[in-house]
Amino acid sequence: MEVILPADCGNAPRMVIVGDFIANWASGDHEALSTWLSEDASWTLVGTGTYTGPGSARDAIPQQSPDRLVLQSIVTHGRLASCDGYLQNGPDRTPFSHAIRFAGATKSAKIAEIRTYMIAREGT
């Protein structure tokens, strides 16, 4: 899978963490994702359901492994982060946005909550 990150992705440590986390999400690496989720984490796939704990990573990964992940922006501030972009399989794109809340402001704090918005679009 080709991964394209924003040019300013290395400006803050948490931006790198979010970029890596979303790359693992897009590639379906639920084991890597689960190490970043707190024991009581909640992951909501808007319109689908909410999953809890580190095992939620398995339920929240995309249905198909994309050819390409494009992260258009990553924003972090204290315990909060967000990112948006799209997954691409051939001509089909799936735009997404993640809103993330970490358990604390430290670089090693685990993720306490994620809300994921996705819209499948064919041939865009």
The whole-angstrom separation of Cα 79 and Cα 110 is: 10
What is the pLDDT averaged over residues 109-113? 97
The end-to-end CA distance of the chain, in Å, is: 19
Quick: pLDDT tens for 43-57. 999 999 999 999 999
Q: Which two tokens stand for residue 34?
A: 């689960």
Asked if residue 115 lies in contact with residue 99, where contact means CB atoms within 8 angstroms, the answer is yes
Residue that has been written with the tokens 């996705």 in this structure: 118
Under the banding of pLDDT at 50, 70 and 90, the label for residue 12 is confident
The predicted model scores a pTM of: 0.93
pLDDT tens-digit series, residues 47-102: 999 999 999 999 999 988 899 999 999 999 999 999 999 999 999 999 999 999 99
The full set of domains in the chain, from first to last, is 2-118 (3.10.450.50)
8-state DSSP, 106: S
Give the C-alpha separation, 116 to 41, whole Å: 14
